[in-house]
Amino acid sequence: MAALTTILHVEDEPDIREIAAIGLGEASGYEVLSCATAAEALAAVRGERKPDLVLLDVMMPDMDGTDLLAALRAEPGMAGVPAVFVTAKTEPAETAPLRDAGAADVVSKPFDPMTLGERLERIWEQHAGGS
């Protein structure tokens, strides 16, 4: 089975991006491709290094997370990459559309950066690890 090594994180708030980078990179050992915009994320997946998992903010100024996920899924090699949304809106009525859009799971804000890597590893194993 392949390992989870690279995570694409798309978040417009610099502080949250930095906290996630510390939790996922320094604390958990993943390579983190941090992007502030949808355009940066699309450019990142068009490069040589494809992420194993995508972590997306839902509300961003240039494109919302569900639209970005659809755009990412259309990129070569990205159709089956598990996606996890990060949002402060975690009521079932608010997360159901995210799951319907193709999310493997939803992480609530604020999240614990020191356990985020473990949580994403479990999600990845459930949705991609066996393929």
CA-wise closest residue to 110 among 83, 92, 131, 90:
90
Residue 122 lies in a domain: yes
Cα 121 versus chain centre, distance:
12
Provide the CATH number for the domain around residue 81. Answer: 3.40.50.2300
Please check whether residue 46 lies inside any domain of the structure: yes
Domain membership flag for residue 1:
no
Q: Is the pLDDT of residue 111 over 50?
A: yes
Distance CA 105, CA 75 (A): 21
> Would you say residue 65 lies in a domain?
yes
Instruction: Give the count of domains, the chain.
Output: 1
Q: What is the pLDDT of residue 49?
A: 81
Q: Is 31 helix (H, G, I), strand (E, B) or coil?
A: strand
What tens digit of pLDDT does each residue of 54-76 get? 999 999 988 999 999 999 999 99
The reported pLDDT for the residue numbered 112 is 93
pLDDT for the residue 46: 94
